[in-house]
């Protein structure tokens, strides 16, 4: 018997009905890659099914892994404030991640973020494709390089292409996309550069607000 694939992918775990509630319930049992085992739980996307705005991040962090909801930790607070300042706070939005389980390494009692491997991002992509198909958003904002690679491939670069709406095909299907940094990068910025980084992030999101009208 051949050895079992380490990353069989999420496709076999998708439910027959692909509404957002059905997807969320099915994702709880996903074993499409090995990240599920050390993680506390699957962290699926959240938001209304008719949201015109889809925000895609990298993966849940430590707080999200415990609470089971995306963007409820420190990076989520940065995102919420930037959405408010950009004029997007009243826009219905659905937030999710390219990878639905927390990827981490242990350092004593601490769990330190570890960037997901390409195989893990690929294994988890069927969930994101299904979310996109259920939502049919007017605009998808990719937050950071992992989200960009998962959705738009390696031809699009965060720092080169940020802050402009790109209408094109993607791994999720055709649509309008905007690339910007992940809000966690602002938390990691040096003290003397953090305000500038935050202002640039807000400026990118203002482009999204203008596009959505």
- In percent, the amount of the chain with pLDDT more than 70 equals 97
41: Cβ contacts below 8 Å, ≥ 6 apart: 28, 65, 68
**Would you state the pLDDT for residue 103?**
97
Going from the C-alpha of 101 to that of each of 65, 79, 117, the distances in angstroms are 7, 20, 12
Rounded (10°) angle between helices 145-152 and 118-135: 70
**What's the rounded Cα separation, in Å, for the pair 180 and 148?**
9
Q: Is the pTM of this model over 0.85?
A: yes
Confidence of residue 75 (pLDDT cuts 50, 70, 90): very high
Identify any residues that bridge with 106 across adjacent strands, giving them in sequence order: 111
Identify any residues that bridge with 142 across adjacent strands, giving them in sequence order: 56, 179
Tens-digit pLDDT profile for residues 131-162: 999 999 999 999 999 999 999 999 999 999 99
What's the angle, vertex CA 55, arms to CA 54 and CA 60, rounded to 5? 130
Tens-digit pLDDT profile for residues 155-202: 999 999 999 999 999 999 999 999 999 999 999 999 999 999 999 999
> Check: CATH 3.40.470.10 for 16-212?
yes
């Amino acid at each position: 018997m051949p050895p079992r694939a380490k990353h069989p992918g999420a496709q076999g775990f998708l439910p027959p009905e692909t509404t957002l509630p059905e997807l969320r319930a099915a994702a709880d049992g996903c074993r499409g890659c090995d990240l599920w085992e050390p993680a506390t739980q699957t962290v699926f996307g959240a938001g209304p099914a008719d949201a015109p705005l889809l925000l895609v991040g990298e993966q849940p962090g430590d707080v999200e892994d415990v609470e089971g909801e995306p963007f409820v930790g420190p990076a989520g607070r940065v995102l919420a404030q930037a959405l408010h300042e950009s004029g997007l706070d009243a826009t219905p939005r659905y937030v999710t991640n390219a990878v639905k389980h927390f990827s981490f390494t242990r350092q004593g009692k601490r769990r330190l973020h570890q960037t997901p491997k390409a195989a893990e991002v690929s294994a988890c992509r069927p969930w994101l494709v299904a979310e996109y198909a259920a939502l049919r958003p007017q605009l998808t904002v990719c937050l950071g390089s992992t989200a960009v690679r998962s959705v738009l491939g390696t031809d699009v670069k965060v720092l080169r292409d940020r802050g402009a709406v790109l209408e094109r095909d993607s791994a999720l299907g055709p649509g309008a996309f905007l690339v910007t940094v992940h809000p966690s990068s602002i938390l990691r910025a040096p003290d003397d550069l953090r305000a500038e980084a935050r202002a640039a992030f807000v400026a990118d999101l203002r482009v999204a607000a203008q596009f959505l009208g």
